Structure 1
Amino acid sequence: MYGVNERQFHNAFIKAGKMKGKHGENFMILLEQRLDNLVYRLGLARTRRQARQLVNHGHILVDGRRVDIPSYKVTPGQTISLREKSRNLTVIKESVEATNFVPEYISFDADKLEGTFTRLPERSELPAEINEAFIVEFYSR
């Protein structure tokens, strides 16, 4: 889920517990804020693994600065774009053409190939197939 290993998953769970609000919702929001996830949500990659590789290889810019850490926490208002050299990659062009949905909490300009994380997502906008109550129950032991 979200292409993260067990340690990263558990650490996100612990951070979510220290935040105000519902533990499960905070946990899901933290996972949604990851740079690799937002690259996937923008449609710059077809899979989260591909998005992670794009980030690792330095193709992604956050507010004009190269970021090569997939777990980088993007905050609302930050802009995610591609390096100039990376804009012509076939993989990215195919992914953008195949994308037909970008969540409401992200604005995307297909011409510029850049998106802005406008706000934190609400629970109703997150994947319904994930039951965070089970995750909270599992890690609370």
Structure 2
Amino acid sequence: MKKKEILEVTEMLSTFIDAGAGAQELMKAITERNLHKNSNFIFGFHTLKAWIESDNPEVKLSKTEKAVLFTLLPYVGWNNQIELLQPTMQKLCGYKDRSYFSKVLNSLVRKNVLEKQSVGKQNYWFFNSLLGKKG
């Protein structure tokens, strides 16, 4: 790993910890998928971090919302879709109460951070398209 990559991963780790996420598990997921070397992932991560740290009153995120976003970030695909089904997302984030986890996700939809697409009984989640576009 180059010095720049190590610094980026270290920065990610500290941000995960600040957000209250399970940093060790997240870093394992990130490094196993070589996401720390993927410029699109780095861009998405920094954009999300900037959103979270901004003073925009409409995008004030709770510690719970931050932790959920950072936990799910390694699983975002090329089209901004979170490549996990909702029960898997809930388990990964450590929530036993399905209705509470749904409230957290829906509050992120209201804040325009996530988008939800329902197909039958299944919900598919996407990071807002504005978040993933460069430029």
Shared fold per TM-score greater than 0.5: no
Output the TM-score relative to the length of structure 1.
0.33
Please identify which structure carries the higher helix content.
2
Output the TM-score relative to the length of structure 2.
0.34
Structure showing greater Rg = 1
